[in-house]
Amino acid sequence: MADYTIGLGNNDSQTRKRADEDYIKFWAEQAKNLYWFEVWHDTLQWNPPFGGWFVGGKLNASYNTLDVIVQKNPTKTALLWEGEGGQSRVVSYNDLWIEVNKFSNVLKSLGVQKGDRITIYLPMVPELLVSMLACARIGDSGSKIVITADGGFRRGTIIKLKEVIDDAISGLDFIQNVIVLEHAKIPVALTSRDKKWPDLMKFASPNCEPEKLESTHPLYILYTSGTTGKPKGVLHGTGGYLTHLYSTFKWIFDIKDSDVYFCTADIGWVTGHSYVAYGPLLHGATQVMYEGAPDFPTPSRMWEIIQKYKVTIFYTTPTALRMFMKFGDGIPNLHDLSSLRLLGTVGEPINPEVWKWYYDIIGKKKSPIVDTWWQTETGGAMITPVPGLETISLKPGSATRPIPGVDIAVVDESGKEVAPETKGYLVIRKPWPGMLLTLYHDDEKYKLVYWSKYKTSYYTGDYAIKDKDGYFWMLGRADDVLKVAGHRLGTAELESGFVSHKAVAESAVCGIPHDVKGEAIIAFLVLRDGYSNSETLKNEIVDHIRNVIGPIALPEQLYFVPRLPKTRSGKIMRRLLKAIAKGDDIGDISTLENEAAVSEVQAAFEEVKLSIKKNQTR
């Protein structure tokens, strides 16, 4: 077997040792890496299941990501921005600091106060970071103001963001202002509510005192899918979250002053918040920010960018890698990727073959791969190699071991840790600094979703195996959540999207393996009386889903069926549908549907199969 032991020369056994001895004291030591206006009195206030980190401490996220860096090295490059069409902009920490200060004053002049919420709907442009950090500077958690642009670029076309916003907020009287950045330079309709970015910035003062915020002050809300019909608002705090990011960014990426870091995540996803916005800026890192599709205008777009900016650290998703791999080795091989020294992945399990391709073809067998497991809720990476701390023998397909200072285990239904090499549920047994504060305006749901399956452990919703060397292997979701191209989509959310179409009476959605996207969506629909199967109706329903959820939710296959197979208690037999979609035999499925008699499952299986066949032969 190949040996994937690659060190970066770091062997700090002390950090892990200290974390094991006293995790609370350990995180307090880590928090000292941030700048605090006032020091905390309680490192952890744990009122299960609500955790407050560094309580009493006061800090500011924008101060820590900008002022602290500017005081040391104002000319340091923060952003190497690259547009889809090849335009570029270089933004220093000082430039960013000035823009953020000015924009903070703009927001204040529009009446925004500490505790208000702002909605940001911008493309991947420097002003997106400016907006986020200005909100953080004045103590806002992310809706009376909306910040958007005329348009953004994707695959050579312009997405008219302002139009989308106008549609979304029509009738919402509490929206007082929409700030519009001129990015795509297309004409937009403006009303008195709308303000142009440059007009507001022209006279704004470049000095805005950062608010001294409580460590537990909300930094932002990100909506993500779960097992219920509606997305949940994951609420993150400030001090704990930033401590988690400061430490993990250093441990995982071993960040150096000379590095050029490139994370391909969109800021709309948690990876963009944690490892484009906060993590790198806390360290004064230089990073590439790219607006556009990763394979546009050519499949070599990413490799061109790496070559152009001499990127040293590249962090992307398994879905993107599977796509690049399909394009063939010839494409990356035509580019100079010798600047790369570290590769990362996030968001989904990475298949060992893809891992090896990444390692051999992109990393030329000299760059370690950090497979980072975490969730929107965990705030930052939890299970990952930490080459900035220690040399580790990598295993393709495993995210390796938990970071220091967290307690993660694989347990059975009763909460007991399972034996090595046994599949179980992944849980987190102690509070950690990046943990969500709660679900926005819904403490009960927070308790129910994460802390009711096991009373004293956080339930991740993932299956995993821990091998005999203590390495974790992630096996995907144990709940009704799909991961389509790394995006989290709840089956319940998709199903309610389908039934919101007038022709659909009932729907059931399941995921099946897909060679690029990891998982693809299959939908089974029961039509209302008066509607019948036709290609036109199918297309109409697909368009409807694109509108109500988004292009990521488009089904790979869509079947009309006379009824959905259900257990006696009315639960949809999703596994059965999955078997049908995959063309599997029903054999091993029957035992899983313990609420229904085997003969009933068999009959339902045959009925759905038959109706699909009929549909197809028509």
- Binding-site ranges for ligand WTA (CB under 6 A): 224, 270-271, 346-349, 371-376, 399, 460-462, 474, 477, 483, 488
Nearer to ligand WTA, 61 or 222 (CB): 222
Nearer to ligand WTA, 43 or 400 (CB): 400
> How far apart, in whole angstroms, are the C-alpha atoms of residue 430 and residue 453?
15
- With helix as H, strand as E and coil as C, how does 428-477 read? ECCCCCCCCCEECCCHHHHHHHHHCCCCCCEEEEEEEEECCCCCEEEEEE
148 - beta bridge partners? 121, 180
Residue type, 256: K
> How far apart, in whole angstroms, are the C-alpha atoms of residue 116 and residue 75?
32
Nearer to ligand WTA, 53 or 374 (CB): 374
Nearer to ligand WTA, 147 or 520 (CB): 520
Min dist CB 248 to ligand WTA, Å, is: 12
Min dist CB 518 to ligand WTA, Å, is: 9
The SS3 of residue 148 is strand
Nearer to ligand WTA, 16 or 232 (CB): 232
Q: Show the tokens assigned to 618.
A: 């028509």
Min dist CB 34 to ligand WTA, Å, is: 22
Min dist CB 224 to ligand WTA, Å, is: 5
Nearer to ligand WTA, 140 or 348 (CB): 348
Min dist CB 270 to ligand WTA, Å, is: 5
Min dist CB 485 to ligand WTA, Å, is: 11
Residue type, 296: F
Q: How many residues comprise the chain?
A: 618
Residue type, 111: G
> How far apart, in whole angstroms, are the C-alpha atoms of residue 103 and residue 89?
19
Min dist CB 546 to ligand WTA, Å, is: 20
Residue type, 168: A
Nearer to ligand WTA, 36 or 450 (CB): 450
> How far apart, in whole angstroms, are the C-alpha atoms of residue 394 and residue 371?
9
Min dist CB 474 to ligand WTA, Å, is: 3
Sheet containing strand 472-477, strands side by side: 408-411, 423-428, 458-466, 472-477
Helices (H), 310-434: 318-327, 330-333, 352-357
Nearer to ligand WTA, 36 or 324 (CB): 324
Min dist CB 487 to ligand WTA, Å, is: 7
Nearer to ligand WTA, 425 or 560 (CB): 425
Min dist CB 468 to ligand WTA, Å, is: 20
- For residues 563 and 526, is the Cβ–Cβ distance under 8 A? yes
Provide CB contacts within 8 A for 33, sequence distance 6+.
243, 246, 247
Which letter does DSSP use for residue 478 in this model?
S
> How far apart, in whole angstroms, are the C-alpha atoms of residue 101 and residue 105?
6
Could you tell me which of 538, 403, 544, 421 has the C-alpha nearest to residue 473?
421
> How far apart, in whole angstroms, are the C-alpha atoms of residue 426 and residue 556?
29
Nearer to ligand WTA, 265 or 525 (CB): 265
Alpha carbon distances (Å) from 341 to 310, 315, 368, 376: 11, 11, 7, 27
Residue type, 328: G
Nearer to ligand WTA, 379 or 565 (CB): 379
Q: Show the tokens assigned to 287.
A: 């990073």
Q: Show the tokens assigned to 367.
A: 């760059």
Phi, psi values for residue 475, rounded to 5°: -115, 20
Cβ burial of 129 (10 Å; 0-12, 13-18, 19+) is buried
Nearer to ligand WTA, 19 or 428 (CB): 428
Could you tell me which of 431, 344, 378 has the C-alpha nearest to residue 49?
431
**Strand pairing of 260-263 and 286-290?**
parallel
Min dist CB 356 to ligand WTA, Å, is: 16
Min dist CB 346 to ligand WTA, Å, is: 5
Min dist CB 399 to ligand WTA, Å, is: 5
- For residues 426 and 412, is the Cβ–Cβ distance under 8 A? no
Phi, psi values for residue 10, rounded to 5°: -105, 130
- For residues 522 and 549, is the Cβ–Cβ distance under 8 A? no
Cβ burial of 216 (10 Å; 0-12, 13-18, 19+) is buried
Which letter does DSSP use for residue 25 in this model?
H
Min dist CB 373 to ligand WTA, Å, is: 4
Nearer to ligand WTA, 474 or 520 (CB): 474
Nearer to ligand WTA, 505 or 516 (CB): 516
Nearer to ligand WTA, 286 or 319 (CB): 319
Min dist CB 193 to ligand WTA, Å, is: 33
